[in-house]
């Protein structure tokens, strides 16, 4: 033992139990031993209750079965159904045998160790040169091996970082693709070579504007991976044609005609940008703005083409980005295309900034609608040819040849009104309507008696609106409601329908409407007296809407009425004119007149009850807040109490 | 009363010479649906327009070799629509790089007495067929997908049998002479239909 290197001998007990699990750190878990009840159950399972207890008949079979079931008795739980071994000491015998084996081995090892007769314990031989190497070599070899190990680790780490970077790249790549998918869901895209082009024009919606409207989709690669990705970063960028950059709108406005035509074509007012909807991408905003610019250009091109081609009485002027026309004398309608590229911010300092609400937004909206209507018409199925080999043209125009239409019929089939004419008509109507409203409102505010009320209808047409004008006296609305006018405001004229059935057509002149309303107001007063007389019991002696006597009115005609009291003693005469105002005279019975000379002819006392001379009433000094009230008081005063 | 003197010379000619640019191809019946879907997406946004036409081809045999050919076509779906008479000239022998078939084209709308007039003029009907299918348009381009059927009994358009198991696809544009950008547009449109149908220039002379 001494001198020879030590040999390590390991002894461990034989495994009685099975290894259930070997964990990652080498620890073995054994299956727990069976408890008493489990053991009993296991033994009971081995008993085959179906078999008879006769041993003689199945002797040899049993023996063979025994021999064959012995070697697998230990692991035999699954096969127990076969034939339980009738040898109950089987497991005991096996255990004893295995322990005998182990003991013999131990004995052998100990004898080898002690006697060294036929066998010795020889340790595993070591490399003899290891101990002789100097320390430097050892160091070097250790260094080399460490270096190899380090290299392996570094290579592995490199691979890991590369895969992480690739993942990030892929994620960005996927972002670009998902953005592209979103873009494609809203805009038309196609691939040409290795470029992705898109179409933002209205051509597929029926427009015939020759602009191509192509935009290009480019990948946004100017991103530094080290820095933090900005919030509004988008991996996709669109490049729109340079002439569609910025934003544009069409400005329609009506102004008094400017005396000089020097400064035309320089209208470039710009209003603030529309707020972007949250969540919409930058490319979407850019594309929408470019599409709007294209549409505005198309509208303006169509308008200017029509302005030049269509012959009208007063020619339209087209200067740079503005079209000027004259709907009414003294009035100027200007349609201009305001396009700002968004770079120069100092163009807001424009001289006519004083009227910001000059812009008729309704007409701008209508222009957009009209051009879209025009687009839709080119796409209607009326144009499709039947039979299919015929060229595209309007269905009814194709009949022109076979049915031998003449020029008048053909021109009636063609589009009658262009965009410009339509928009001028609409502008005229809007202007006429606003002026009518202004006239009525100014009269209403200026004149308190009688009152004028205007009820505008909610539902109007682009070319026609209507308003109902009532002239009433305050406090007597139920009695005096004979003047009710329905005004239908058209493009150039106003049609008035009176309650009594008369229809009058007024021109666009503001003065005509005003004069007409004033004359109606004066007539109202006289009508009111008539209605009041009915209520008060007075009798109407005479009534005339248009009196031919007295001073001539410059506006309309004067009206007059004479009413007599219930007992006939008094009479009131009223003459009312738009300009001359009202004149009220009261006729007294002769008995009350002092200056009447006594006559010999008329001697009977009863003749003094007749009405005689007239006396004018100082109407201005009468009590009462309006004419009808004063009249009522007067009538009441002249009616004696019974 | 005398007729007023004619002071203006009658108009002779002066009509614009219209050329038809044509590309043709065909698809089998099974692939028709996918082609129609693609066309619906690429072409102008309208409801798909179906048509059923009856075409009669009239020949006038003169002393010279080539007979004069006229095509008279009427719609079976819209009987009151006028007939359409068409003359197609010889394909222009331009450079080979011309991408579409270009030929002179004269289109005339005619009333319903057209066959009688042609017969009186000396034309004889060579053959007739029925074409049914769908019609698409994109701007000025017309795409016609049609199934041609043979008329078994002359004059009876109810009794027809299809000529083949495929549909004829034609892309055509009517434009005045001299516009070469038209064929470029046609070619780029045909590129977009590429895997479904190959539209190409088919010279009718080579088929004879």
* Per-residue pLDDT at A147 exceeds 90: yes
**What pLDDT band is residue A219 in, cutting at 50, 70 and 90?**
confident
Domain residue spans of chain B: 19-51+87-111+129-203
* Per-residue pLDDT at A436 exceeds 50: yes
E-assigned strands of A202-266? 214-219, 236-239, 247-256
Retrieve residue B78's tokens.
């819209």
Residues of B with CB under 8 A from a CB of A: 44-47, 49, 51, 53, 55, 71, 73-75, 77-78, 81-84, 86, 107-112, 131, 133, 135, 137-140, 142, 144, 146, 174, 192
* Beta-carbon separation of A388 and B53 below 8 A: yes
Can you tell me the mean pLDDT for A595-611? 75
Cα separation, B90 vs A488, in Å, equals: 64
Global confidence as pTM: 0.68
* Per-residue pLDDT at A80 exceeds 50: no
**What pLDDT band is residue A69 in, cutting at 50, 70 and 90?**
very low
Cα separation, A337 vs A322, in Å, equals: 7
**What pLDDT band is residue A152 in, cutting at 50, 70 and 90?**
very high
Residues pairing with B103 in the sheet: B20, B91
Greater model confidence, A314 or A443: A443
CB-based burial of residue B139 (10 Å sphere; 0-12 exposed, 13-18 middle, 19+ buried)? middle
**What pLDDT band is residue A592 in, cutting at 50, 70 and 90?**
confident
Torsion angle, alpha carbons of A90, A96, A100, A103, to 10: 150
* Per-residue pLDDT at A284 exceeds 90: no
* Beta-carbon separation of A381 and B49 below 8 A: yes
* Per-residue pLDDT at B10 exceeds 60: no
**What pLDDT band is residue A70 in, cutting at 50, 70 and 90?**
very low
Helices marked H in A187-266 — which ranges? none
- Of B203, B141, B198, B201, residue with least CA distance to B171: B141
- Of A99, A106, A108, residue with least CA distance to A10: A106
Name the one residue in this structure whose structure tokens are 């970063």: A233
Cα separation, B75 vs B83, in Å, equals: 7
> Which CATH superfamily groups domain B19-51+87-111+129-203?
Hypothetical Protein Pfu-838710-001 (2.40.320.10)
Predicted local distance difference test score (pLDDT) of residue A601:
76
Predicted local distance difference test score (pLDDT) of residue B52:
93
Predicted local distance difference test score (pLDDT) of residue A265:
46
Q: How far is CA A479 from the centre of its chain?
A: 51
| Distance (Å) from the alpha carbon of A178 to chain B's nearest alpha carbon | 22
Q: What percent of chain B has pLDDT over 90?
A: 38
Q: Give the model confidence (pLDDT) of A23-56 as tens digits.
A: 888 888 888 877 899 889 988 888 877 776 554 4
Name the one residue in this structure whose structure tokens are 């009320």: A453
Predicted local distance difference test score (pLDDT) of residue B185:
85
State whether residue A303 is helix, strand or coil: helix
**ipTM greater than 0.85:** no
Q: Give the model confidence (pLDDT) of B133-160 as tens digits.
A: 999 988 788 999 999 999 988 877 888 8
From the CB of residue A176, how many other CB atoms can be counted at a distance below 10 Å?
A: 17
State whether residue A174 is helix, strand or coil: helix
* Closest by Cβ to B45, choosing from A204, A391, A402: A204
**What pLDDT band is residue A73 in, cutting at 50, 70 and 90?**
very low
* Per-residue pLDDT at B27 exceeds 90: yes
Alpha carbon of A202 to those of A187, A188, A291, A294, A295: distances in Å?
A: 11, 11, 8, 9, 8
Cα separation, A567 vs A581, in Å, equals: 29
Name all contacts of A42-45 with Cβ < 8 Å and 24+ positions apart.
A42/A77, A42/A80, A45/A77, A45/A80, A45/A81, A45/A84
* Beta-carbon separation of A388 and B51 below 8 A: yes
**What pLDDT band is residue B8 in, cutting at 50, 70 and 90?**
low
Cα separation, A471 vs A519, in Å, equals: 11
Cα separation, A454 vs A437, in Å, equals: 9
DSSP output for A20-41: EEE-TTS-EEEPPPP-HHHHHH
All residues of chain B having their beta carbon less than 8 Å from the beta carbon of residue A392 are 137, 140, 142
From the CB of residue A572, how many other CB atoms can be counted at a distance below 10 Å?
A: 23
**What pLDDT band is residue B14 in, cutting at 50, 70 and 90?**
low
Torsion angle, alpha carbons of A483, A489, A490, A495, to 10: 10
* Closest by Cβ to B109, choosing from A379, A380, A398: A398
Predicted local distance difference test score (pLDDT) of residue A261:
52
Q: Give the model confidence (pLDDT) of A194-212 as tens digits.
A: 888 888 888 878 888 888 8
Greater model confidence, A548 or A228: A548
Q: Is the separation of the CB atoms in A248 and A297 below 8 Å? A: yes
* Per-residue pLDDT at A226 exceeds 70: no
Worst-scoring range by mean pLDDT, A209-223, A347-361, B164-178, B189-203? A347-361
From the CB of residue A267, how many other CB atoms can be counted at a distance below 10 Å?
A: 19
Worst-scoring range by mean pLDDT, A372-381, A446-455, A592-601? A592-601
Whether the CB of A205 is below 8 Å from some CB of chain B: the reply is: yes
Average pLDDT, chain A: 82
Greater model confidence, A211 or A605: A211
Chain A contact probe: residue of B18, B24, B84 with most A CBs at under 10 A: B84
Q: Is the separation of the CB atoms in A176 and A218 below 8 Å? A: no
Q: Give the model confidence (pLDDT) of A368-388 as tens digits.
A: 898 888 888 877 777 888 888
* Closest by Cβ to A381, choosing from B47, B84, B144: B47
């Amino acid at each position: 033992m001494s001198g020879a290197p030590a040999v390590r001998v390991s002894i461990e007990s034989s495994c009685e139990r099975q290894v259930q699990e070997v964990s990652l750190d080498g620890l073995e878990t054994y299956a727990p031993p069976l408890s008493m009840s489990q053991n009993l159950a296991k033994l009971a399972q081995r008993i085959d209750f179906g078999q008879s207890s006769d041993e003689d008949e199945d002797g040899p079979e049993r023996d063979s079965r025994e021999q064959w079931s012995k070697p697998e008795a230990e692991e035999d739980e699954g096969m127990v159904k076969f034939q339980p071994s009738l040898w109950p000491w089987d497991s005991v015998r096996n255990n004893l045998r295995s322990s005998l084996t182990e003991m013999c081995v131990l004995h052998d090892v100990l004898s080898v160790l002690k006697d060294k007769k036929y066998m010795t314990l020889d340790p595993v031989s070591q490399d003899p040169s290891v101990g002789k190497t100097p320390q430097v070599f050892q160091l070097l070899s250790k260094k080399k091996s460490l270096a190899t190990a380090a290299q392996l680790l570094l290579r592995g780490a490199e691979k890991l970082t590369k895969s992480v970077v690739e993942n990030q790249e892929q994620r960005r790549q996927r972002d670009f693709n998902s953005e592209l998918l979103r873009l494609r869901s809203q805009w038309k895209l196609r691939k040409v070579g290795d470029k992705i082009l898109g179409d933002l024009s209205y051509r597929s919606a029926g427009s015939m504007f020759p602009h191509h409207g192509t935009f290009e989709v480019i990948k946004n690669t100017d991103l530094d991976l080290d820095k933090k990705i900005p919030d509004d970063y988008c991996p996709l960028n669109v490049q729109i044609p340079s002439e569609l950059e910025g934003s544009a709108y069409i400005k329609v406005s009506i102004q008094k005609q400017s005396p000089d035509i020097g400064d035309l074509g320089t209208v470039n007012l710009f209003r603030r940008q529309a707020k972007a909807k949250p969540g919409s991408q930058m490319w979407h905003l850019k594309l929408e703005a470019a599409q709007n610019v294209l549409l505005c250009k198309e509208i303006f091109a169509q308008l200017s083409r029509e302005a030049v081609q269509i012959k009208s009485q007063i020619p339209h002027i087209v200067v740079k980005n503005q079209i000027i026309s004259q709907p009414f004398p003294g009035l100027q309608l200007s349609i201009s295309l305001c396009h700002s590229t968004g770079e120069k911010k100092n163009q807001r300092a424009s001289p006519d900034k004083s009227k910001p609400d000059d812009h008729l937004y309704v007409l701008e909206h209508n222009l957009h609608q009209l051009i879209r209507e025009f687009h839709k018409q080119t796409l209607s199925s009326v144009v499709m040819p039947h039979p299919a080999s015929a060229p595209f043209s309007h269905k009814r125009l194709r009949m022109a040849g076979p049915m031998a239409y003449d020029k008048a019929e053909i021109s009636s089939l063609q589009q009658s009104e262009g965009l410009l004419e339509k928009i001028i008509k609409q502008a005229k109507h809007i202007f006429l309507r606003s002026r009518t409203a202004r006239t009525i409102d100014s009269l209403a505010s200026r004149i308190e008696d009688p009152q004028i009320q205007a009820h505008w209808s909610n539902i109007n047409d682009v070319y026609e609106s209507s308003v109902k004008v009532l002239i009433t006296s305050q406090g007597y609305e139920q009695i005096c409601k004979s003047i009710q006018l329905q005004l239908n405001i058209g493009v150039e004229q106003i049609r008035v329908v009176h309650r009594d059935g008369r229809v009058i057509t007024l021109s666009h002149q503001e003065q005509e409407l005003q004069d007409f309303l004033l004359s109606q107001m004066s007539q109202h007063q006289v009508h009111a007296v008539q209605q009041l007389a009915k209520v008060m019991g007075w009798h109407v002696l005479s009534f005339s809407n248009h009196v031919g006597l007295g001073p001539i009115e410059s506006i309309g005609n004067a009206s007059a009425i004479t009413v007599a009291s219930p007992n006939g003693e008094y009479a009131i005469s009223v003459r009312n004119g738009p300009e001359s105002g009202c004149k009220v005279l009261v006729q007294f019975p002769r008995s009350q007149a002092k200056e009447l000379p006594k006559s010999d002819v008329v001697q009977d006392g009863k003749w003094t009850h007749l009405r005689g001379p007239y006396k004018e009433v100082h109407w201005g000094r009468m009590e009462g807040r309006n004419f009808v009230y004063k009249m009522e008081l007067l009538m009441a005063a002249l009616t004696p109490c019974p | 009363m005398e007729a007023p003197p004619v002071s203006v010379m009658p108009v002779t000619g002066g009509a614009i010479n219209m050329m038809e640019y044509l590309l043709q191809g065909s698809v089998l019946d099974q692939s028709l649906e996918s082609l129609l879907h693609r066309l619906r997406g690429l072409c102008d946004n309208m409801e798909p327009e179906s048509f059923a036409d009856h075409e009669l081809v009239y020949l006038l045999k003169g002393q010279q070799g080539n007979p004069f050919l006229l095509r008279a076509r009427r719609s079976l779906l819209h009987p009151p629509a006028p007939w359409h008479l068409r003359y197609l000239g010889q394909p222009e022998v331009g450079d080979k790089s011309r991408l579409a078939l270009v030929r002179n084209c004269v289109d005339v709308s005619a009333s319903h007495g057209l066959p009688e007039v042609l017969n009186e003029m000396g034309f004889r009907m060579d053959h007739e067929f029925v074409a049914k299918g769908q019609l698409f348009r994109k701007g000025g381009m017309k795409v016609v997908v049609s199934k041609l059927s043979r008329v078994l009994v002359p004059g009876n358009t109810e009794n027809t049998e299809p000529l083949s198991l495929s549909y004829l696809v034609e892309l055509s544009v009517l434009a005045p002479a001299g516009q070469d950008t038209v064929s470029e547009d046609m070619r780029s449109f045909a590129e977009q239909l590429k895997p479904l149908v190959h539209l190409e220039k088919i010279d009718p002379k080579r088929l004879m």
